[in-house]
């Protein structure tokens, strides 16, 4: 179990490289909320986008997960708890205004990177529009 990496996995490194090449900057293995013990693989704080790359075994991929034959009860419960924790994490982040993006490790890194870049850019544009709307005078432009 010591050899199992919780960060800097190959799929994470490839995705980070593609997102960085697109000009985006992010935090790695960062906690999105104060007091939250869970970490996002990539975190874009200003736009509140949290990215998770889930391993097919550890997170119970419906396409690729195969339960081990030995100690099956333990592993089925373990994976079930992981999936439930993922759902709880998503719900907590969404409740705080975050956009949660989850990808499986087997998904195309290019496709995942395109989704991340588009989501971050869209959230930036939304924030810019909201900021320009808030700073615009509401009385027709006259100031006293």
pTM: 0.86
Q: Could you write out the three-class secondary structure of 89-111?
A: HHHHHHHCCCEEEEEECCCCHHH
Does the pLDDT value for residue 141 go beyond 90?
no
82 domain residue, yes or no: yes
142 domain residue, yes or no: no
Which helix or strand (DSSP H or E) is residue 41 part of? Answer: strand 40-44
Q: What is the pLDDT of residues 61-72, one digit of tens each?
A: 999 888 888 999
Question: At 7, is the pLDDT very low, low, confident or very high (cuts 50, 70, 90)?
Answer: confident
Q: How far is CA 45 from the centre of its chain?
A: 11
131 domain residue, yes or no: no
**Where is pLDDT greater, at 20 or 138?**
20
130 domain residue, yes or no: no
Looking only at Cα atoms, what is the longest distance across the chain?
78
User: What are 30's two structure tokens?
Assistant: 């960062």
134 domain residue, yes or no: no
Q: Residue 68: its pLDDT value, please?
A: 85
113 domain residue, yes or no: yes
Domains of the chain: total: 1
Q: What number is the average pLDDT over the span 23-51?
A: 96
Whichever domain contains 89, its CATH number is 3.40.960.10
**Which range marks the domain in which residue 69 is found?**
10-125
Helices (H), the chain: 10-21, 72-95, 109-135
Q: What number is the average pLDDT over the span 5-21?
A: 92
């Amino acid at each position: 179990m010591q050899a199992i990496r919780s960060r800097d996995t190959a799929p994470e490194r490839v995705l980070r490289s593609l997102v960085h090449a697109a000009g985006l900057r992010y935090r790695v293995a960062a906690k999105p909320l104060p007091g939250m013990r869970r970490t996002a693989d990539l975190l874009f704080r200003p736009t509140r986008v949290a990215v998770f790359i889930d391993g097919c075994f550890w997170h119970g991929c419906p396409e690729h997960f195969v339960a081990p034959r030995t100690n099956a009860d333990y592993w089925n419960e373990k994976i079930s708890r992981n999936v439930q924790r993922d759902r709880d994490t998503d719900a907590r982040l969404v409740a705080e205004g975050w956009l949660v993006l989850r990808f499986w490790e087997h998904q195309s890194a290019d496709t995942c990177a395109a989704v991340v870049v588009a989501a971050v850019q869209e959230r930036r544009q939304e924030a810019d529009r909201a900021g320009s709307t808030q700073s615009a005078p509401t009385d027709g432009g006259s100031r006293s």
